[in-house]
Amino acid sequence: MPKIGINIATGSLQQAEMIVGIDLGTTNSLVALVHPDTRKPVVLKDQNGLALVPSILHIGQHGEITVGEAARTFLKEDPSRTIFSVKRLMGKSYKDLSSSQDLFTYKIIDEDKESLVKVQVGQQFYSPIELSSYILRELKDRAEHMLKTPVSKAVITVPAYFNDAQRQATRDAGKLAGIDVLRIINEPTAASLAYGLGMSPEENKTIAVYDLGGGTFDVSILQINNGVFEVLSTHGDTYLGGDDIDRAIVDFWLKQIPVSAQPKKEDILMVQSYRLAAVQVKHQLSMQSNAEVVVGGHSFSLDQFQLEEIIAPLVERTLASCQHALADAKLSINQIDEVVLVGGSTRMPAIKKKVAAFFGRSVHDALDPDQVVALGAAIQADILAGNNKDFLLLDITPLSLGIETMGSLMDVLIPRNTKIPFRVARQYTTQQDGQGSMRISVYQGERDMVQDNRKLSEFNLTGIPGMPAGVPKVEVAFLINADGILTVRAKEIRSGVEQEIEIKPQYGLTDQEVERLLLDSITHAKDDIKKRALVEARTEGEQLLQTTEKFVTKYAASLSPKELSVTAADMQALQLALTMEDKDLIHQRMEALNETSRPYAERVMDQAVSTALKGQKIE
């Protein structure tokens, strides 16, 4: 297969442009890239040397937005206009969140339980996509500032358990931030890549990725086979993380003072102060054995031993999830080859210890646990950029492959970006009674109408035994081997008649042509949908005309002259509509014809059934 230096996600040719990796986290977000000179992934830091961008936004009185570290102070000073944990809201409806409402200090709109949530700040409403896009824009700005070049392409990570809506929301947030999201990849996959797992082609391994972040916990069991990652199982708790540890610490302290001295829930400012004090102490305890703090005029302390006690139930829950994930993957602990730690909370010595003990092996913790996901995303970005030519990229079809179906529509059997080798089969049938052959036309491209794509080859499946339309079962199989050679086979299953051709899909296509075909498909997407709807309406209309005509010819004797003449008029009207570019008109005319024929069709069928029954009795 010719090695095309093409960006498989966008179809554009590879320039020297940088593609960054982004970890869009619940608590913290980061941007990283593979350094063009050292070929090593690095996280991009700001002027103060900070890698993490806290996923916090403050929206000022006039709608001005502050993101990251600068927004942190507003958690205390202006909590109702300060948004955190927006990732939790991605792709969610209010109904999804109703049980966890009180965890947010800002206002989530609940007027419509079914639709996606919005956040209200003052008189303004913000969607989680929009809010996330501000964080992404901040990361993009940071990257551009550091690299002194525009950055418009990225790989963004999401938890393995994110559903389509959540992944789509993440993509949309990227788009809104002016980022072309080349790929959404799973966080555990990225973390494994950061440790070099899965980077050598012959590697076959099973990996457990334990990710305890700020607000969420998840464990994923991954299988790598020849550089391909597969998520075998994932388990976790979307409300279990460092935040819970912070709350548990606060509760631990509050028990030490009288109820009357405890902050009221409405006193958001004081609640936040407690929270931030707990975070501070917790972080100190990763490096020292005890720490102290003063909040609301009270002095509190915490030592390593107390912390371990406080988090014990929480750690137990995470290990139960690990057990679950193993069971779902049908694996036992000793089948796990590698354990990767992810998330800031895995810095806690107590957690490292317990996870290692559970899996009975040493864990990967050499990299900064809150950077690993971003570093892995950068490695994936580098692969997509075509800089790592031996890996993944080459084994993917750059354009979709399919055949022509009724109405000259492209029916895609192998979508572009499919990993090869690959095999797929689909069944088709004949359109006409007694049809003895079927033309299989193979196309390559992304457009809906075959004439806009590139014809690769064409052949006839002949010798189909005479059968009524719709009865033959013709299976068309596409097999694309590791060298990119496509074999197309058509087989009529009832009779076993079979025909096969071999095609080299890329043959003769220059990079520019591939690029043009992809760009065309993007430019014409809207037109194509319209055209497709029209073609489909026409095909349906033609079929209706055919069946009506057949029916009327067969049962003419049972129909009144009036019925015959109205039907003829309706058919003519439909025929005329088929020549116009108006799918709604076609649907109207079809509806009218159906209305006309329904009463007599039912009558005739009733008669036919009773005749058949009578016939049986005589026998």
Binding-site partner at residue 282 among ligand ADP, Mg ion, none, CB < 5 to 8 Å by type: ligand ADP
**Are 208 and 359 contacting, i.e. CB atoms less than 8 angstroms apart?**
yes
Smallest distance from the beta carbon of 373 to Mg ion, in angstroms? 6
Distance (Å, whole) CA 380 – CA 443: 30
The 260-289 site mask, x for binding ligand ADP (CB under 6 A), equals -------------------x--xx--x---
442-480: burial string, b at 16+ Cβ within 10 Å, e else: bbbbbbbbbebbbebbeeebeebeebeeeebebebebbb
Asked if residues 163 and 91 have their Cβ atoms less than 8 Å apart, the reply is yes
Q: Assess contact for 198 and 192: CB atoms under 8 A.
A: yes
Which residues, numbered 390-419, are part of the site for ligand ADP (CB under 6 A)? none
Catalytic residue of the set 187, 237, 448, 570: 187
Q: Which does 215 bind (CB under 5 to 8 A by kind): Mg ion, ligand ADP, none?
A: ligand ADP
| Residue linked to tokens 């069946």 | 547
At 490, which helix (H) or strand (E)? strand 486-492
Stretch that binds ligand ADP, among 214-222, 467-475, 518-526, 555-563 (CB under 6 A): 214-222
Q: Read off the tokens for 385.
A: 């950029």
Residues that bind Mg ion (CB under 5 A): 25, 213
**Residues 11 and 509 sit within 8 Å (Cβ to Cβ):** no
Q: Is residue 79 at the binding interface for ligand ADP, with CB under 6 A as the rule?
A: no
**Residue 132 partner contact from ligand ADP, Mg ion, none using kind-dependent CB cut-offs of 5 to 8 Å:** none
Q: How far is the CB of 68 from ligand ADP (least distance, A)?
A: 12
Q: How far is the CB of 197 from Mg ion (least distance, A)?
A: 18
User: Does residue 264 have an active-site annotation?
Assistant: no
The encoded tokens of residue 509 equal 């296509």
Minimal distance, residue 344 CB to ligand ADP, in Å: 2
Using CB under 6 A as the binding rule, whether residue 72 contacts ligand ADP is answered as no
Is 214 among the residues that bind ligand ADP (CB under 6 A)? yes
- Is 536 tagged catalytic? no
Q: Which two tokens stand for residue 582?
A: 């108006």
170 scored as a contact of ligand ADP (CB under 6 A): no
Residue 23 is among the residues annotated as catalytic for this protein: yes
The widest CA-to-CA distance across the chain, in whole angstroms, is 102
Q: Kindly state the DSSP code that residue 77 receives in the 8-state scheme.
A: H
Q: Residues near 354 by Cβ (< 8 Å), separated by ≥ 6? A: 315, 319
Span from 310-318, 345-353, 498-506, 586-594 in contact with ligand ADP (CB under 6 A): 345-353
Return the amino acid letter for 135: I
Neighbours of 596 (CB within 10 A): 18
Choosing from 172, 211, 382, 446, the catalytic residue is 211
- Our CA dihedral for 14, 16, 17, 19, rounded to 10 degrees, sits at 80
Could you tell me the smallest distance in angstroms from the CB atom of residue 157 to ligand ADP? 10
211 flagged as catalytic: yes
505 touches ligand ADP (CB under 6 A): no
DSSP characters for 361-395? S--B-SS-TTTHHHHHHHHHHHHHTTSSTTSSGGG
Is residue 348 close enough to count as binding ligand ADP by CB under 6 A? yes
Q: What residues are annotated to the active site? A: 23, 87, 187, 211
Q: Tell me which residues touch ligand ADP (CB under 6 A).
A: 25-28, 213-216, 241-243, 279, 282-283, 286, 343-345, 347-348, 370
